Amino acid sequence: MRQHFASNTQGHDYVVGDVHGDYERLTDLLSLIKFDVMVDRLFSVGDLIDRGPASVKCLELLNEPWFFSVLGNHEEMLINAAKDPLEHMGHWEQNGGEWGAELDPTALAHYAAVLAKLPLVITVGEGVSRFNVFHAEFFGDDLALDLPSYTGQVRERLLWGRGLIQNPRKKDLQLGLSTSFCGHTPVKGHQQIGSQIFIDTGCGYANRTGILTIARASDLVFFEG
């Protein structure tokens, strides 16, 4: 459910917004910020796949020792489609998963098994340097986020929730929550509400109208491309 990492004492930790299959844009931006695969780490808020042209390449990032991702709702759609294509494949295709319908069932099952192991939450560091990564939203403090398991309602909110961005007054429900990076809801530029920083800036949509955002976690410097 949750994966914890010690602070990075050798390089920088970055967090990337929803990539949605635009592998080229991601690699271009990593080159721009001079990302060092030997000492830096890249954490993803999920939704690596769908809409863009290179979902498979984005999934292959999970094999890299410097790349770590939480589960997004689009990854969950892939998992559900692999389990029951008749029930879930159509919904996934309607949300950018057309590429999945062309996959060999064995390959689809393989990706589903890999994605099913992704955590819902990543936490990095301790104390004032701590930051959290999840896909959509969370209400509660760090102690609640660190619980060994979540209720179905909390899990649904972590993957699909939009309550905070629709009603910013709910930020009062996040007292005691460390800086938390999330995606899921596209915004025109990175946006902070309460403890959450929304960094899904529309990457992967048709005609490349959106951009990709990467945040440097230590000093909240944002890079776009």
**Residues labelled as active-site residues:** 74
- Degrees, nearest 5: CA angle 132-138-141: 70
